[in-house]
Structure 1
Amino acid sequence: MSIVRRSAAALAASAVLGLGITSPAAAAPSPTPSAAAPSGLYGTGDPTYDGVWRQSLALLAQDTVGLKPAAKAVDWLTGQQCDSGAFPSYRAVAATPCDAKLPLDSNATAAAVQALAALGGQDAAVKKSVGWLKSVQNADGGWGYNPGGASDANSTSIVIGALAAAGEKPDEVKSKGGRTPYDALLTFAKPCGGKDGGAFVYQPKQPGIVADSTAAAVLGAHGKGLVVTAGAQDAKGTVCEKSTTVEGAAHNGAVYLATALARTGHLDTPPMAGAADPTPKPDFGNTADAVVALSAQGLGDQAKKPLEWLERNSAAWAKESGPAAYAQLILAAHAAGADPKSFGGTDLVAGLNATGPAPEKPAAADTSQTEKKDSSDSGSGVGVWWIVGAFFVASVGAGFLFSGRRKNQQQP
């Protein structure tokens, strides 16, 4: 979405921003510079924190616009999977089994499931990953970023999207205590009125970047993943209403986003503590995620202004940020019915393709990839949904994917 992801760098950024977000159960490894990007991987930046995440979004976006990703790109992603079915954020040596100390990542795993399920032909890998996700479901019905960590809105939402993509019914995936993912989502929803009324917080005691967790949770509440098309018009409009159902919470979350976007058409990233310029900077990633969420909720009119703002202003951000940024914008355009090949004068698809292996050329008689159906029917599914490191936030000022969905250090 913007499309969410946690890491050591992201946690550092959160601390600098004063978000008070607690550390995941296992710390991510420190990034190490690499002479060249791994063959098959999209983007040239250090993949330590976001390799699987950005690859999954890139493949999913290509599939959504009817392209067949390069086989080597798909192989790179499947090669990251551990024997347990889980995916880490990234592992440099995929030829050997995953080390027992390697932190496993629910967000990366859920994103990979959505991509591989959409591409097809990866049933065994998808089944193993879904089995692992079910095995680390928390007692409250939700998921944390790392297994054993407290549930959060972003992780829970993207896992819901993965379950749906794999053909599961999220409301039937219950914890040992009999709780569903939707039970967990409701614990992150704030009542109408007051600060952040109607929004979904990252965790009840750790609000995080509220727009990010809200965009993710709106999709999760609908049982959707990262790929959506416009939903039926929301007859309730933009009034926050008292509700105890996940459907009502989704409506209220979308209302929160619509209200936040109404004045300028974009969301903002708060300034870092001690920054010379205290002015908030536009948050491109979460604005794109908000467009997806509003479209899914059936508030297409409210999605128009932020979509137009992105068309006018996001080209430089996407070029600097890399494959996941291009993918987010493509998914936003898809959700709102815009043309990603002519997005404010920018061909987002060409921009994404240029960051990695060129898609395969379809056979002359093969039209299967040009007739993509609504992911709500196929279950191919975030929200995102997606976290950047502190240095990227400082340099780009984008607030790209700040949350439990590894939106960090996206580079071209």
Structure 2
Amino acid sequence: SKVTASKDAEIAELKSKLARIADERASDARVTEADHKRALADATASRDAKIAELTQKLEAQKTTFATEKELAVTQARTQVERERDDLAAQVKLKAAEGEQKISALREEMATKLRAKDELIAYKEEEIARYKEMKARLSTKMVGESLEQHCEIEFNKMRAAAFPKAYFEKDNDVVDGTKGDFVFREADDEGNEVVSIMFEMKNESDDSTHKHKNEDFLKKLDSDRKKKNCEYAVLVTMLEPENELYNEGIVDMSYRYEKMYVIRPQFFIPIISILRNASLSALSYKAELAEVRNQNIDITHFEEQMEDFKTKFGRNYDLASRKFQTAIEEIDKTITHLQKTKDALVSSENNLRLANNKAQDLTIKRLTRNNPTMKTMFAELAEAKEAKEAGKLGEGLEDESSAE
């Protein structure tokens, strides 16, 4: 160790000193052998004492080092054991948690398996029941049974979920075709919320010609448009082995607008989904209708304005032509009146001359050179005088009687 090496170095140094002292004493003739021996003894004793002291210190340091080393090892071992115990506890805890998770997962999987087995058993029972039912029904009765099933399912929910809805058989034939059922619902203001054209298709298992759902989609889309319905839904029992139609609601809008194909168990859910979606969009429809009405009002206003302008222009044109005609007629009338005035002025002159001549006309002139007329006028004059004399006599008699 370092301590031992240090002590050995000191011892070597002391030995070197002793040798040097011996050499000095040997070289010094004045030093006696006794002094040399005494000095050597003293040096030896001092060396031995120093060696003993150093040896004691070394042993003490070795003991202290061993004790500290043992203590450090003990502490390290204790720490390692403690960490080991902690790790073991954590491993046990993780293992317990893992076991719990595995147990819970196993239980969940077992529950799902049981539910799946129950669902499979239920479907198998349903399939068996439908097959048995189909085996007992004619082709017509098979189709009617699906329609009756849907109608019954709807009537069960009508009072609670669809109190203001219309769901009836489609009996209105348009262009030789019609759907099976029509669903319509309106809000309190009478605005239509949603409308659905339904087609129900079913067939017996022993049918010689198996139909596919694709065979009825085009007709259903046409019926929807003819009856002004927003959606079209095919409720079908066809293609029972086709997993596309067995998984749920099938959106066919990539082929035909707003069309869905469902199994009978999704009949009520599809109505609810489409109805709720339409209710959410009703406010937007109202706003759109208001905007459309505003546009229509503006259009009508513009149309009425253009109509007024057209009629006003036509009336103005007619009035202008009539006004011009009236002016021309007035001018003609003025010309005619002027001619009439001139004629009247000329007539007035002639009348004045005639009047003057009439004023100058007398009985004497009329009877001049005409004995016959002269005699007749004289007789008339006498008769007139006699008549006047008679009236005068009657008046006098009346006055006498009154007195």
TM-score (normalizing by structure 2): 0.20
Higher relative contact order (CA 8 A, sep 6+): 1
Larger Rg: 2
Structure with greater strand percent = 2
TM-score (normalizing by structure 1): 0.19
